[in-house]
């Protein structure tokens, strides 16, 4: 039988049937097994100056907090393999807004918080930031965990300790990235990690303490794994 003699209607119905089967398979795949989170998929979503400008408080998000210049934005760029995603700068205080980045799973986000302790801003401005930050931290229901980024050479500043205590008080899972590890010899970095571990030995909220470097990618996979666990847990969609 030549191609011209094939009944086009029968081909049509078979194709429809196959399409239906494919659609059913696709539906069951998406409804039963959600796509694994891919950090490379991160896209800028929105910048918010205050809580009411933030995206809807649904799903799960992980926020990066820490001192100004500690390396929060660089860590986000390293995790997402996108050097241009979050703005980094040698000038402290670069990130002045709460920046949201969406991931490939619906309602999963990474959040770059404004750095604390930027000396050059006025007292009023500092108070204003702190207020927005604490508003975000206390009100945001989708916050699944906090990543506290600290320079491994200057760990556990007063602000860092305040954040640890805040997580402890609020039962919020905490990950510490002791970053810029490439700036120390390995032995010195190890000693610094032991010091942090010892200082926080009684903290229940500390789930991950990771030696990290955005430059050399030290600790990257451990960090991604911890973030994935937080973002995926409790999500059945
Ligand atoms: N060597 C090295 N430099 C880093 C690392 N992470 C960040 N930096 C540098 O540290 C400076 C500050 O980094 P940012 O990522 O902008 O810091 P931030 O915490 O987002 O700062 P704010 O937005 O001001 O709060 C930049 O010059 C980065 O290149 C790292 O792992 N190793
Ligand atoms: Mg920043």
Cα(72) to centroid of ligand 2, in Å? 5
Task: Please provide the DSSP assignment of 137-166 as one string.
Answer: HHH-TTEEEEEEEEETTS-S-HHHHHHHHH
Give the pLDDT of residue 14.
33
Please report the atom of ligand 1 found closest to the CA of residue 87.
Answer: 16
Task: Give nearest CA residue, ligand 1 atom 7.
Answer: 71
What would the mean pLDDT of 61-73 be, rounded to a whole number?
94
Question: Angle at CA 179, nearest 5°, toward 175 and 183?
Answer: 160
CA 236/CA 33 separation, integer angstroms: 9
Give the pLDDT of residue 119.
53
CB 220 within 8 A of CB 212: yes
* DSSP label of 80: T
Average predicted confidence (pLDDT) for the chain: 84
Give the pLDDT of residue 196.
98
Give 21 or 168, the one with higher predicted confidence: 168
Q: Is the CB of 179 under 6 A from ligand 1?
A: yes
Residue 3 banded pLDDT, cuts 50, 70, 90: very low
Q: Is the CB of 145 under 6 A from ligand 1?
A: no
Alpha carbon distances (Å) from 16 to 5, 22, 60, 160: 20, 10, 38, 60
Q: Is the CB of 95 under 6 A from ligand 1?
A: yes
Cβ neighbour number for residue 188 with a 10 Å cutoff: 13
CB 100 within 8 A of CB 17: no
Residue of 73, 43, 62 whose CA lies nearest to 214: 73
Q: Is the CB of 215 under 6 A from ligand 1?
A: yes
Residue 31 banded pLDDT, cuts 50, 70, 90: low
- Looking at the CA of 212, name the nearest ligand: 1
Cα(114) to centroid of ligand 2, in Å? 7
Question: Six-digit token pair at 69?
Answer: 């210049």
| 101 pLDDT above the threshold of 60 | yes
């Amino acid at each position: 039988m030549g191609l011209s003699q094939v009944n086009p209607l029968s081909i049509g119905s078979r194709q429809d049937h196959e399409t239906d089967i494919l659609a059913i398979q696709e539906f069951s795949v998406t409804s039963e097994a959600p796509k694994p989170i891919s950090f490379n998929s991160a896209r800028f979503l929105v910048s918010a100056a205050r809580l009411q400008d933030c995206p809807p408080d649904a799903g799960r998000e992980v926020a990066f907090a820490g001192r100004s210049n500690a390396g929060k934005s660089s860590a986000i760029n390293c995790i997402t393999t996108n050097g241009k995603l979050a703005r980094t700068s040698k000038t402290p205080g670069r990130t002045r807004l709460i920046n949201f980045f969406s991931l490939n799973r619906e309602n999963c986000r990474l959040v770059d918080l404004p750095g604390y302790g930027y000396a050059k801003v006025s007292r009023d401005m500092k108070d204003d930031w702190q207020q927005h930050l604490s508003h975000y931290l206390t009100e945001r229901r989708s916050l699944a965990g906090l990543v506290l980024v600290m320079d491994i050479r200057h760990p556990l500043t007063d602000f860092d300790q305040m954040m640890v205590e805040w997580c402890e008080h609020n039962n919020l899972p905490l990950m510490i990235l002791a970053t810029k590890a490439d700036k120390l010899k390995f032995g010195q970095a190890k000693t610094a990690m032991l010091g942090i571990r010892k200082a926080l030995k009684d903290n229940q909220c500390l789930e991950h303490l990771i030696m990290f470097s955005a430059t050399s990618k030290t600790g990257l996979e451990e960090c991604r794994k911890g973030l994935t666990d937080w973002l995926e847990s409790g999500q059945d969609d």
